[in-house]
Amino acid sequence: MPPPTLLLTAPLFLKHEPGPGHPESPARLRSILSVLERAPVEGAQVAAPRAATEAELASVHTPELCKYLSGLAGEEADIDPDTHASEDSYDAAVLAAGAAVQAVQEVMAGRARNAFALVRPPGHHAEPGRSMGFCLFNNVAIAAEAARRQGAERVLVLDWDVHHGNGTQAAFWARRDVLYQSVHQYPYYPGTGAPHEVGVGEGQGFTVNCGIPGGATDADYGALFEELFLPIADAFRPQLILVSAGFDPHRDDPIGGMLLSERGFAAMCSAMKSLAESVCDGRLVLLLEGGYSLQGLSQSVHACVEVLAGRKDSFPTGETTSETRHALARSREALKPYWHLR
């Protein structure tokens, strides 16, 4: 039998309580797991993750932040106006980071054909020295560092959350071994992700941002993938692909302003899976970030798991908006000095 699509999750993730009325609630993961239980995906296997080690957390985060967060274990605290910790939040965050590392290790070793870490809290806003934006540790950055230790010389991180992953960008801003690509609503929280943000020093050209106004459709995202993200990623030739999979660009999301459907997310996942199959033996790991419409989130995650397990989806044909074309042109212009973009 072929290796499974690995789904890593645990009951502890449901014990992270950001507070009454907070959008990043346990109901998000509960809804995802309920849909996967009602409609199991053949070829997908659920397993429990392990906690991250101190060294794995320290591969991205400063000693000061690690010490501060460990001091919150068993406590309630307001980390910033958006980010709150309950008694179990620290342990959940360490387990979420560990799930990210474990997913990478299983895929790199060939024991899983691909993986999806269904975790809370999310991670892509957490900077090396600062937790913020619902995030404590940066799960995808910790996963990328784990992949480098596993022997991957080049790692791609693709971020399709509606918010820009400022923390992931900061972690690899001056590096060329990790290519960070982000499509996000702009201008929007956290304020970063402009097209001219392309990295510094050796990392110039290895940060790819395309920020677009709200209202973008599946076809708009398809144009961005086909004309910007995929050509650069193919030229980069990653040995592992990580996806910060946020589902807040869904058309029903109460926070985001995009118009993606479940099939749009499946098309993005399919595009990354096809890229992985062509350049890195299918090594692909998704990590859950945002997404606050319970139905939109759970149905979109299910659609992506179907893709990981073998289904193929493609972007719909259709006109792209003038706003998307303008944003795409600005990003392509900013990246032309570093990549051959036709």
- Other residues' Cβ atoms within 10 Å of the Cβ of residue 55: 9
- What residues form DSSP beta bridges with 245? 288
- Cα(254)–Cα(162) distance, integer angstroms: 12
Helix (H, G, I), strand (E, B) or coil at 276: helix
Q: Which pLDDT does position 2 carry in this prediction?
A: 86
pLDDT digits (tens, 9 = 90+) for 127-150: 999 999 999 999 999 999 999 999
The 10 Å CB-count burial string (b at 16+, else e) for 205-235 is bbbbbbbbbeebbbbbbbbbbebbbbbbbee
- Cα(38)–Cα(145) distance, integer angstroms: 35
All residues at 6 or more sequence positions from 276 whose CB lies less than 8 Å from its CB, including other chains = 114, 241, 282, 283, 284
Residue type, 71: G
Domains of the chain listed by start with CATH number: 5-335 (3.40.800.20)
Contact between 326 and 220 under an 8 Å Cβ cutoff? The reply is no
- Cα(69)–Cα(137) distance, integer angstroms: 9
All residues at 6 or more sequence positions from 81 whose CB lies less than 8 Å from its CB, including other chains = none
DSSP characters for 311-332? ----PPP-PPPHHHHHHHHHHH
pLDDT digits (tens, 9 = 90+) for 221-234: 999 999 999 999 99
What tokens were used for 56? 């794995």
Q: Which pLDDT does position 57 carry in this prediction?
A: 99
Residues with a known catalytic role: 125
Q: What is the DSSP letter of 200?
A: S
Rounded to 5°, angle at Cα 220 from 177 and 5: 55
What tokens were used for 303? 């659609």
Q: Which pLDDT does position 342 carry in this prediction?
A: 81
What tokens were used for 219? 């076809």
Helices 89-108 and 139-149 cross at an angle (nearest 10°) of: 40
Per-residue pLDDT of the chain (342 residues; tens, 9 = 90+): 889 999 999 999 999 999 999 999 999 999 999 999 999 999 999 999 999 999 999 999 999 999 999 999 999 999 999 999 999 999 999 999 999 999 999 999 999 999 999 999 999 999 999 999 999 999 999 999 999 999 999 999 999 999 999 999 999 999 999 999 999 999 999 999 999 999 999 999 999 999 999 999 999 999 999 999 999 999 999 999 999 999 999 999 999 999 999 999 999 999 999 999 999 999 999 999 999 999 999 999 999 999 999 999 999 998 999 999 999 999 999 999 999 998
Burial class (CB in 10 A: 0-12, 13-18, 19+), 141: buried
As a whole number of Å, the CA-based R_g of the chain is 18
Q: Which pLDDT does position 1 carry in this prediction?
A: 82
Q: What is the pTM of this model?
A: 0.98
